[in-house]
Amino acid sequence: MRLLKAGRLILLLKLTIVLGSIWMLSLFSYPKTSWDPTYILSYSWLEYTDADGIPETACNCSAILRGEREALEEAKLLSITRDFRESVHIPDEYYINATQDCREFQLSRKYLTIPLSQEEEDFPLAYSIVVHHKVDNFERLLRAIYAPHNIYCIHVDKKSEPSVFSAVMAITSCFPNTFMVSQPVTVVYAAWPRVQADLNCMADLYKASTKWKYFINLCGQDFPLKTNLEIVRMLRSLKGGNSLESEQMPDEKKWRVTSSHKIVDGGIQWAGKAKEPPPFNLPILSGNAYIVVNRGYVRSVLEDNRIQTLIEWAKDTYSPDEFLWATIQRIPGVPGATWPNSKYDMSDMNAIARLVKWQWHEGSQGSLEAVYPECHGNHVRSICVYGAGDLKWMLEQHHLFANKFDTDTDPIAVYCLEKYLRQKALAELQ
Ligand SMILES: *[C@@H]1O[C@H](CO)[C@@H](O)[C@H](O)[C@H]1NC(C)=O
Ligand SMILES: *[C@@H]1O[C@H](CO)[C@@H](O)[C@H](O)[C@H]1NC(C)=O
């Protein structure tokens, strides 16, 4: 174990020297100090620092992560300033141009292009990411979760702006292990195509590599709360299990699966008739669109005849993304599945897949109704778009990812989070 670590350190050192010299030759703002091996070894050139010269460095992230009021107030003032928000935004055109030289793009954006540990390399992950706008949000997410031994399938909604498509395509073309989904679809909110987007990526990922152990699906406005090493360790501790919301369906949601729907003018409508009961009398469970599942679960989704039948049945339901994965998780024989009995129900707060703050569950600790503290950002469709003031609480949770972030609304929340995670990942090396 120790030997392995030493060997890896030497490899890293060699690579860093090579990369370090490219770095110095390049035009980026490498600090003009003399050659200092400890500096190189400490990887600080991969850290996000004030030397990056981006506007967000004006705020004090360590104070923000501790929830200090003064720093949070300053951050809030800054993030509501129009000039600041505009200066922070990275336009699609930047990505289209900057990716013409992939190596320079990787270096200047500080991508981690070597595995940071054997443990991570031995436990590759597969990601499906659906995107339809806000390329800079997506790129910062990719940068935060990127590792050369993982694999990433990106689905860009067919109705997205051409510049979104071009920019995401340009970014993915810079990495051998990131690719555009082979069959993109037009996503309709709360309708079947949202699931189809993930299914198409699942199939591509399953075919592209036999090595990955877990599948995680994301959207462009998610962000990790853990480093890759922490994610790997938490997944290993699941011991082959899956982690996703899967609970008894509340009565007020049952119409979603008992009546038939159709897509009209890019929206979903009631089709005016009732649906047949689900195939094999499968109990339909309630969950959400975001899951953390093992490779066997994905194989079942793609190959198990019962699930193929369930999928066909689900195509005219309302919001199938919010029950399909949850239902499959309780089908006997699916790897990592649990029995349908309610004793195995798992809530979104107990699953590690995704942290979401729903407006109606916010409140103060001690009240029976409240699930989490008030949102410090603002709400979109009743979901909290996190502000810097949410970070302290979020980092105390066990979830791997949180939804929703928006660099156009609160760039500081994303900045402090990405900076924290990068620092932590590099510190884990020591
Ligand atoms: C940032 O906040 C931390 C924690 O309160 C404090 O120790 C540090 O001095 C602050 N840094 C700056 C540059 O103000
Ligand atoms: C385009 O990218 C190149 C590096 O790849 C850079 O030198 C140049 O300044 C960029 N042009 C614009 C307009 O940003």
The answer to whether residues 82 and 214 belong to one domain is yes
**Ligand 1 atom, smallest distance to 60 CA:** 1
Q: Which of 49, 5, 83, 13 is nearest to 423 (CA)?
A: 49
Which residues fall within 8 angstroms of residue 268, CB to CB, at 6 or more apart?
Answer: 188, 189, 190, 191, 261, 262, 318
The answer to whether residues 161 and 290 belong to one domain is no
Q: How far is CA 213 from CA 127, 130, 239, 292, 293, in A?
A: 11, 20, 11, 11, 9
How many A from CA of 64 to the centre of ligand 1?
9
Sheet-wide strand order for 354-356: 222-224, 401-403, 354-356
The answer to whether residues 189 and 78 belong to one domain is yes
The answer to whether residues 224 and 298 belong to one domain is no
Q: At what angle do helices 135-145 and 411-427 cross, to 10 degrees?
A: 10
Which ranges of 209-367 does DSSP label H, i.e. alpha helix?
228-237, 255-258, 295-303, 305-314, 324-328
| Pocket-testing residue among 50, 57, 60, ligand 1, by greatest number of atoms within 8 A of Cβ | 60
Q: What is the pLDDT of residues 338-352, one digit of tens each?
A: 999 999 999 999 999
- What is the Cα 387 distance to its own chain's centre? 17
Q: What is the largest CA-CA distance in the chain?
A: 75
Q: Is 322 a catalytic residue?
A: yes
Whether 282 is covered by a domain: the verdict is: yes
The answer to whether residues 151 and 272 belong to one domain is no
**Whether this model's pTM surpasses 0.85:** yes
Structural domain containing residue 150 = 64-237+355-398+400-427
Q: What's the mean pLDDT in 380-398?
A: 97
Q: Is the CB of 68 under 6 A from ligand 1?
A: yes
The answer to whether residues 112 and 224 belong to one domain is yes
Whether 53 is covered by a domain: the verdict is: no
Coil/strand/helix, residue 236? helix
Q: What is the pLDDT of residues 287-327, one digit of tens each?
A: 999 999 999 999 999 999 999 999 999 999 999 999 999 99
The answer to whether residues 194 and 116 belong to one domain is yes
Whether 57 is covered by a domain: the verdict is: no
The answer to whether residues 95 and 139 belong to one domain is yes
How many A from CA of 210 to the centre of ligand 2?
38
The first and second tokens of residue 89, run together, are: 């935004």
How would residue 362 be classed by pLDDT, with cut points 50, 70 and 90?
A: very high
The answer to whether residues 377 and 279 belong to one domain is no
The answer to whether residues 68 and 159 belong to one domain is yes
Q: Is the CB of 97 under 6 A from ligand 2?
A: yes
The answer to whether residues 106 and 195 belong to one domain is yes
How would residue 31 be classed by pLDDT, with cut points 50, 70 and 90?
A: very low
The answer to whether residues 144 and 251 belong to one domain is no
User: For the chain, what is the mean pLDDT?
Assistant: 91
Q: Is the CB of 93 under 6 A from ligand 2?
A: no
Whether 196 is covered by a domain: the verdict is: yes
| Least confident window among 25-34, 41-50, 334-343 | 25-34
The first and second tokens of residue 211, run together, are: 């090595």
| Pocket-testing residue among 26, 28, 97, 106, ligand 2, by greatest number of atoms within 8 A of Cβ | 97
Count of domains for the chain: 2
Q: Which residue of the set 104, 322, 396, 418 is catalytic?
A: 322
